[in-house]
Amino acid sequence: AQSVTQLDSQVPVFEEAPVELRCNYSSSVSVYLFWYVQYPNQGLQLLLKYLSGSTLVKGINGFEAEFNKSQTSFHLRKPSVHISDTAEYFCALFTGGKLIFGQGTELSVKP
């Protein structure tokens, strides 16, 4: 069965520090992978996506992610975070005509 696991429910980090939000997936077929950000009481905004091609994907707001097929991972990274990056982040797998979401990671950036 297809699934997405976000390994950290909460990630506290200081401003200007690097951050990595971890995501592992399970799928027996080709995958499309996405990272979304959700600010309080808002819908989801796409950060980046992996469809095919280069395994290093760059997104908005300075985020990037690397698709690793052998480790079935799609970790999200940013070299230097800002207070405004505080939000909930969701990793998602598109398969079988549906999006399957991970449990979410709450990124909290402290001054």
Partner 1 sequence: GAVVSQHPSWVICKSGTSVKIECRSLDFQATTMFWYRQFPKQSLMLMATSNEGSKATYEQGVEKDKFLINHASLTLSTLTVTSAHPEDSSFYICTLQERVVSNEQFFGPGTRLTVL
Residue 100 phi/psi, 5° resolution? -110, 125
**Location of structure tokens 């405004």:** 84
Instruction: Return the residue of 30, 70, 97, 111 that touches partner 1, per CB under 8 A.
Output: 97
Q: Does 68 bind partner 1 (CB under 8 A)?
A: no
109: tokens are 């950036």
Q: Does 7 bind partner 1 (CB under 8 A)?
A: no
DSSP state, 53? S
* Side-chain half-sphere exposure of 25, counting CA atoms within 13 A: 30
Q: Does 94 bind partner 1 (CB under 8 A)?
A: yes
Total residues at the site for partner 1 (CB under 8 A)? 21
Contact region with partner 1 (CB under 8 A), list: 16-24, 57-65, 69-77, 92-100? 92-100
Q: Do strands 87-95 and 32-38 pair parallel, antiparallel, or not at all (unpaired)? A: antiparallel
Residues at the interface with partner 1 (CB under 8 A): 32, 34, 36, 41-46, 49, 51, 90, 94, 97-104
